[in-house]
Amino acid sequence: KAGVTQTPRYLIKTRGQQVTLSCSPISGHRSVSWYQQTPGQGLQFLFEYFSETQRNKGNFPGRFSGRQFSNSRSEMNVSTLELGDSALYLCASSYSLGTGELFFGEGSRLTVL
């Protein structure tokens, strides 16, 4: 069974640009969560999607958005990039909401110059 796939794995952008990251969950998993990981802040919750609906959102500005498609694949978008957005963005899938046991992808490493 294939794991969680995130693309791209690495990307470099400049300030002011926007970026879209993609996540394909494990087959049969309907919940997708996104996290930002930085050395100083650790893993910070961005948002969670279930059945194409955002169920919860973390304390991030509106520049961070996401969506989930009918096949459970998810994308997140960051607009007007800032230097502080440089981070590892991790996607995790689970079978349903509140079931624990998150399965993480390898992440997308974003560098903003």
Contacts to other proteins by CB under 8 A: 4, 33, 35, 42-43, 45, 48, 55-56, 58, 90, 92, 97-98, 100-107, 109
CB of 112 to other proteins, least distance (A): 18
State the Cα–Cα distance between residues 36 and 94, nearest whole angstrom: 18
CB atoms within 10 A of CB 94: 20
Of the two residues 27 and 38, which places its CB atom closer to other proteins in the complex? 38
97, amino acid identity: L
Of the two residues 59 and 70, which places its CB atom closer to other proteins in the complex? 59
Cβ neighbors of 32 (< 8 A, separation 6 or more) are 23, 25, 48, 49, 50, 68, 72, 73, 74, 91, 92, 93
CB of 86 to other proteins, least distance (A): 15
Of the two residues 40 and 62, which places its CB atom closer to other proteins in the complex? 40
Of the two residues 56 and 80, which places its CB atom closer to other proteins in the complex? 56
CB of 67 to other proteins, least distance (A): 18
